[in-house]
Structure 1
Amino acid sequence: MASASAVKKIRKKKVFPTDDDVAEALAEYTFNLSKKFYEERDYFTVVISGGDLTFWLRKLLDTKYDDKIEWSKWHIFWVDERVVPLDDEDSNYKQALDRFLSHTKVSIPIANIYTIDQDCAALGDAKGAAILYEECIKKLVNQNIIRTYKSSGFPQFDLQLLGMGPDGHMASLFPGRYQINEKASLVTYITNSTTKPPPKRITFTLPVINCASYNLMAVCGEAQTDAVAKVFKNDFTLPSARLTADTEAIWYLDQAAASELPIGL
């Protein structure tokens, strides 16, 4: 686990008046990094989560980005996924598809959108889904679509867009669960998520999350106020407090979510 001083050094934050302002800034941040990476290496690997984030990504459909985004260079992954059929309303993929990915402006090739295995999803096989998603990531590393992090061998995604729950969880890494301490696997699974349904999920492990070049954690609303305050006091019992990145880990907060932050944090 990273020390408090190390995490605090790499963690940044920006506070915006409203969640709409957060969404605007998140879109601009994503656009700028997409341009940077596909100019550097011809690919942009972006990892997304569920929840409000898939609504906020619709800001990339604004006319100011028309003809400026090279969608064909994008490769989309999920930091975690509910192990339900891909057409289930609880599926993070389904939510992203309905809210963002299916829009006519978003011309990402289907082959560049990496869902969990369809058969495992239909059967509710969380372990199998985790194994196959890890195999998919390793294959893309071998194809040089995903980079590796220095000498560790862990995959290094260009950008991850994350959210946090009121209990301080990120991805499907929940407080007090052993998955937060997994250091060998790229992907792990959970079968009894009692904190938040559905119970079966897969998730990237913390080393994979923290190897990303850029991690943007977007949090809005009063429900997360207490957890945000604990994170910025370095309460490492909260998985989100352990978030770092290779280049930048930044938090985008609206005024409501940041309302209990002490002055100076």
Structure 2
Amino acid sequence: MPHHAPSAPILYSFSNPEELVDALSHFIVKAQKEAVEKRGKFTVAISGGSLPQFLNGLIGKPGVKWDKWQVFYADERVVPLDHPDSNHKLCMDKLFSKVPIPPDNIHTIDYSLKDDLEDLSDAYEKELIHEFANKDSARFPIFDLILLGVGPDGHTASLFPNHPLLSEEDRWVAYIEDSPKEPPERITLTYPVINHASRVAFVATGAGKADTLKTVLDEPEAGLPASRVRPITPGQVFWFVDDAAASKVEYPRTKM
């Protein structure tokens, strides 16, 4: 089997968050259109943190076929679905409660399994298997789009620096009991899943992310978790950032 090399990231930088939101929503609709034309649906995984607030450009945007979306969470905190720490609640509050997406198209964790994280992550993996099982019998699911943020420490999804999960090669969904950020118990998609996606888009804004972004893009050999998101060809990784976050980056920017 040929070994596919990862393709280099594409960096888009915007002078203000409004421009970024507009460009990101345009990018997402384009990805959706291609996916629906190919397979009749759009599979997307979304992280939490500050990311969901940048998706509000999709509300009322023409061309969004909400009934074709199948939404998973790139990571999720093991808390009730209506808890302030829940990524699902965050995405519901910022986006899904404001658009006509069928509730069954949003795949959440089964919080009733909270006392056994192995069972909980296995159950979530089964949701993915159910969605992706017939897709070219691939070893890993191939998401049309995965949307991620990046923390000041360079973590993404719930993949944290120097954590054993960074070397997970088999599982689709893994759990973490010792997240350095509260809450400590989470599940996350693993690198094999993230790096098999057709597209991965990061969103990062603000001067507080400048040093992290410089390390991720200019010094990938430092091995920060976000640097290791390098989808194998033909997959592609995109960075949507504002000029403040990109202020120290030497990596070349691309015009949209």
Q: What TM-score do you get using the length of structure 1 for normalisation?
A: 0.88
What is the number of residues matched between the two proteins? 246
CA contact (8 A) 2:78 2:111 kept: no
Q: Separation in 1 of the partners of 2:141 and 2:75?
A: 15
Gaps of 5+ in 1: 1-5
Instruction: Report the equivalent of 1:160.
Output: 146
Partner deviation per Cα, 1:30-61 (whole Å, 9 max, x = no partner): 01111111122110001111122211111111
SS of equivalent to 1:81: strand
Q: Separation in 1 of the partners of 2:116 and 2:178?
A: 13
Instruction: Report the equivalent of 1:261.
Output: 249
Q: Separation in 1 of the partners of 2:123 and 2:101?
A: 22
Letter in 2 for 1:80: D
Instruction: Report the equivalent of 2:220.
Output: 234
CA contact (8 A) 1:191 1:201 kept: yes
Partner deviation per Cα, 1:186-216 (whole Å, 9 max, x = no partner): 111111112x111000001101001000111
SS of equivalent to 2:221: coil
Measure how far apart 1:264 and its partner are.
4.6
CA contact (8 A) 1:236 1:242 kept: no
Q: Separation in 2 of the partners of 1:78 and 1:204?
A: 8
Measure how far apart 1:219 and its partner are.
0.8
Letter in 2 for 1:250: F
Give the 3 Å change call, closer, same or farther, for CA 95–263 of structure 1 in structure 2: closer
CA contact (8 A) 2:79 2:111 kept: no
Give 2:177's match in structure 1, choosing from 182, 191, 199.
191
Partner deviation per Cα, 1:120-149 (whole Å, 9 max, x = no partner): 2xx35432221111111112222x3xx35x
Give 2:203's match in structure 1, choosing from 218, 229, 237.
218
Q: What TM-score do you get using the length of structure 2 for normalisation?
A: 0.91
Gaps of 5+ in 2: none
Q: Separation in 2 of the partners of 1:259 and 1:210?
A: 27
Instruction: Report the equivalent of 1:139.
Output: 130
CA contact (8 A) 2:142 2:193 kept: yes
Give 1:248's match in structure 2, choosing from 219, 227, 236.
236
- The percent identity for this pair of structures is 39
CA contact (8 A) 1:83 1:124 kept: no
Measure how far apart 1:237 and its partner are.
2.5
Partner deviation per Cα, 1:18-37 (whole Å, 9 max, x = no partner): 22221111111001111111
Q: Separation in 2 of the partners of 1:36 and 1:73?
A: 12
Partner deviation per Cα, 1:210-251 (whole Å, 9 max, x = no partner): 100011111111221111101112134201001122421111
Instruction: Report the equivalent of 1:207.
Output: 192
CA contact (8 A) 1:84 1:124 kept: no
Q: Separation in 2 of the partners of 1:203 and 1:112?
A: 19
Structure 1 residue 88 corresponds to structure 2 residue 83: yes
Q: Separation in 1 of the partners of 2:159 and 2:46?
A: 15
Measure how far apart 1:108 and its partner are.
1.5
Instruction: Report the equivalent of 2:155.
Output: 169
Q: In terms of mean alpha carbon deviation, does 233-242 or 173-182 score higher?
A: 233-242
SS of equivalent to 2:100: coil
